[in-house]
Every structure is written in C-alpha cells, then in structure tokens.
Chains A and B, each alone.
Chain A
Amino acid sequence: EAQVTQNPRYLITVTGKKLTVTCSQNMNHEYMSWYRQDPGLGLRQIYYSMNVEVTDKGDVPEGYKVSRKEKRNFPLILESPSPNQTSLYFCASHPGRGASTDTQYFGPGTRLTVL
C-alpha cells in the first residue's frame, strides 16, 4: 500500500529538549516536504526536498532543520523546541512534475506539544 508514515503520532516535550519526527514514504517519490497545521492558518510549508541531499526552506522554517540522506526518509528536527512550535505536523510526498499524477500524499500527522 502506498503510504507516508510518521513517528511519533503524539509527543509532549519541554522547552529546549531536542526532538526528531521521522517521515518515510514507500512510493519512491523524489519530492518530500513538511507542513504545520494551526487553527485559522491552514497548512504552511516548513521545509521541502526535491531529492536526496537537496533541501530548502519553505514559508516558516525558523526553529526547524531537515535532512534527506535517503530518498524514502525526511526527518524533521527541532533542536531547541519552544512553545510556539506546538502544532500538528504533516509530512508529504509528491512524485514530481512530469509524473502521471500531481497528487501530493500526506502522512497521518504528529501532534506536538511543547511545554
């Protein structure tokens, strides 16, 4: 089954304690990205990656890092989380322009609370 998986699904942490949210896709997609979802704001892109070792900032990258060492994995790293990073996070993958479909697939989400 084609899917995007994220772990953990729920996380409560404290300010300043480094954490990583993992994301993996099994569709051999070149493009992956991270979004955060906040009430009244919709989803906003944090970082994206067009391929292995190619990453770039989205609209709200402050306080986040990413890496793309393998095509299937795209972890989101919060080196020093702060309460304003409390949010619902989604990983997404896309086959890239020129593919037969423009569908972007989303993971199930990670609800993060930073105290």
Chain B
Amino acid sequence: QQQVKQSPQSLIVQKGGIPIINCAYENTAFDYFPWYQQFPGKGPALLIAIRPDVSEKKEGRFTISFNKSAKQFSLHIMDSQPGDSATYFCAASTASNFGNEKLTFGTGTRLTIIP
C-alpha cells in the first residue's frame, strides 16, 4: 500500500522554469512533510519541510504548498537551475508512531533542468 503517492515520475524543465512535483497522502495522522533532494551517489538530504498548521512555506527558491483538506502537498522550484537536477522525494511522518520516526516516502521524481 503506497501511502504517499508522488507524480510525475520524471520531469524535464528549461532553465528558469518552475518545476512542480506533487504528492498525495492517505494517513491523516501524518504531521510532518519533508522534501528530500538526492544527487547520484549521495544519500537523500533534507530540502524543506512543512507541518499541517500552515499552507505554504518558502525557503529561498523552494516552496511547499500544502492542502490539508485535499491531503496533498507540492514542491515548487522557482528560477530553476541545471544544478537543481536531482531526484526529489516527498515524505511524511507522524508523532503517533510509538517513537518510530519512520519516513514514508513517495516513489521519487527525477528532475532534469536543461540550459
């Protein structure tokens, strides 16, 4: 059972464009929604995260939009650069997991920014 569904699987955007990656979740107990960025040969690294008490969070060129009623959240990358080319994972976790800080991941989006 895929509890966090991510789309698209891959995305090609021209430099300066705004790639958008979408995620939908099922478990209403999720209370923390991070996005991870992964470059080839590296482990995932936290990019930005949001909690359901806000509808939007912005850090630099990266913005998370969160829709609690629709159980959806998305990542927007403003003024995208070739250096943003990576695989992006959305994830979710809940405090109601008996101390297990498990992240439930989406299946990933391979983003390519072309010059």
- A and B associate: yes
Measured CB to CB, the residues of A under 8 A from B are 4, 31, 33, 35, 40-45, 48, 50, 56, 58-59, 90, 92, 94, 96-97, 102-104, 106-109
Cross-chain pair count, CB within 8 angstroms: 63
B73: interface (CB < 8 Å): no
Provide the residues of chain A in CB contact with B41, threshold 8 Å. Answer: 108-109
Which of B6, B46, B101, B103 is A96 in contact with, Cβ under 8 Å?
B101
Chain B residues bordering chain A, tally (CB within 8 A)? 23
A57 vs B107: C-alpha distance when bound (angstroms): 21
Q: Which of B95-112 contact A (CB under 8 A)?
A: 95, 99-103, 105-108
Measured CA separation A97–B107 after assembly (Å): 25
Distance from B42 Cβ to chain A, minimum over Cβ atoms (Å)? 6
In the complex, which residue of chain B has the Cβ closest to the Cβ of A44? B105
Cβ-based interface call for B49 (8 A): yes
* Chain B nearest Cβ from A21, distance in angstroms: 13
Report if B44 contacts A (CB, 8 A).
yes
CA distance A67 to B101 in the complex (A): 18
Q: A43-B89, A102-B32, A107-B43 are in contact. Are A50 and B100 (CB under 8 A)?
A: yes
Query: How near does chain B come to A48, taking the closest CB pair, in angstroms?
Result: 5
With the chains together, A90 CA to B102 CA distance in Å?
Answer: 13
